[in-house]
Structure 1
């Protein structure tokens, strides 16, 4: 008989806790091509997803599939190198397994990164967008079904998903590092097919500045868990519906790799300022 989801999370958490020597204060989930973003991370130990009890497998080549425990600017951090996506066939609940694991481990802060297509034509490939808000267009929600009271409230408020003080901190760090940091709204789609020009026009009309296939499920679960969330999108290509250009996963990964150093400096600076 299969264990309930909450029991699977707790069993995985106990497995990790038995092997950790320090309490992490930050958790981070990396996006496509961004597994090695934190070049300043001092690695303490690595847990391949395949060795973690009940943990879903990352099936996308550009996602390493490892949980790394380390320190960043003196703060203890857990980094999920690669995420789980709806388009891989996983349920919205399983997509949020990393978030629930962080919650079970007592981690209060969540950093979400992703590779995204730019809809705002003021953006350029390689830019970074601070997520101010999101639009859930996946048609799914990880909170559907009976509420698990141990996880959070039945109806979590979503008016301040990406908390203002963390966003302000990121803006300040970017200014100090002389990095241009845009701000905008992220639209989360199911994927994996990329957007048609008509879909891009629609997204632009409803207020989206960037689009991707992740982040939203994790953010909802993070809010449900009472975590403070910072979201950052690395813009890998520009979706101009009036002059559409084809793109590939290889191109997205290449752009992400080239620009990830800027993302590293922003995240390292924010983590350094955590109380």
Structure 2
């Protein structure tokens, strides 16, 4: 464990005696789930040694540690993005810290543009796979064999058993849950219509500016990952209208109740040990 990760872990353990079992990363406009956690500790990123600041609206920049139902959790209320100017190792620093705390199940969420023309703003999509188009990778550089292998297998980046649980719980809620491939770009510009057509040709169903680095880091450490995208808008060129971050936040806030119930149901089942096929 490097010194930066160790200092962050030490500080968190000073603030709480809870050992989280599940981590939740809350994307743009989806931070409301953290308010449902019976919090034992709320730690601002700026108070953690070595952590950068979260600069994006809709990302509060806090760890919330406590219980969601009976399950001990740690929630990232906001994340760091490559387009904010941080190197990849800093983008995945919270993931490294959470893994070092012993968490082995990650639920990552994001707001994404719908590439699949059958998707509508407000849909939730469980991520079945991803395409990394960020032009960088969080594992470039010397490998720490204590964390994971030099060449991690990504053939099952998103855990099929967790996807099954998500789909079962969505069905129980009578909630339509899409399933698709998430493409990650650097941002901060939204994609051009030509780029969206390219992603559709490549097999992507949604596109965004996050998530993939964190998933890679979590899988490198041997953790299970479930990814959920909120389709916040139709990607460029599908509708004859400009894109804006305000639209993203507005759409995610409208579906936050369904998102929170779905994730709470999933975490409750994971907490019971229901992550094996």
**Band the TM-score falls in, shorter-chain normalisation:** over 0.9
Relative to the length of structure 1, the TM-score reads 0.96
Q: Does 1:238 align with 2:234?
A: yes
* CA contact 1:239–1:245 (8 Å) conserved in 2: no
Counterpart Cα distance in 1 of 2:238 and 2:116: 13
Cα deviation per residue 1:243-273 (whole Å; 9 max; x = unaligned)?
A: 4421211111011111111111111001111
Alpha carbons of 1:33 and 1:243: their partners in 2 closer, same or farther (altered >3 Å)? Answer: closer
Cα deviation per residue 1:191-239 (whole Å; 9 max; x = unaligned)?
A: 0000111011001000000000000000100110100100000000012
Residue equivalent to 1:53:
49
* CA contact 1:85–1:214 (8 Å) conserved in 2: yes
Cα deviation per residue 1:123-162 (whole Å; 9 max; x = unaligned)?
A: 1100000000000000110000111122210000000010
Residue equivalent to 1:226:
222
Q: Does 1:100 align with 2:96?
A: yes
Residue equivalent to 1:267:
263
Counterpart Cα distance in 1 of 2:8 and 2:243: 38
- Please show how residues 1-275 of structure 1 align to structure 2 within 5 Å: 6-239=2-235, 241=237, 243-274=239-270, 275=273
Contiguous gaps of at least 5 residues in structure 2 = none
* CA contact 2:15–2:41 (8 Å) conserved in 1: no
Secondary structure at the residue paired with 1:15?
helix
Aligned length: 271
* RMSD (Å), alpha carbons: 1.2
Relative to the length of structure 2, the TM-score reads 0.95
* CA contact 2:185–2:207 (8 Å) conserved in 1: yes
Alpha carbons of 1:6 and 1:170: their partners in 2 closer, same or farther (altered >3 Å)? Answer: same
Alpha carbons of 1:267 and 1:242: their partners in 2 closer, same or farther (altered >3 Å)? Answer: closer
* CA contact 1:121–1:240 (8 Å) conserved in 2: no
Secondary structure at the residue paired with 1:28?
strand
* CA contact 1:197–1:244 (8 Å) conserved in 2: no
Alpha carbons of 1:242 and 1:231: their partners in 2 closer, same or farther (altered >3 Å)? Answer: closer
* CA contact 1:125–1:236 (8 Å) conserved in 2: yes
Alpha carbons of 1:107 and 1:242: their partners in 2 closer, same or farther (altered >3 Å)? Answer: closer
* CA contact 1:31–1:83 (8 Å) conserved in 2: yes
Contiguous gaps of at least 5 residues in structure 1 = none
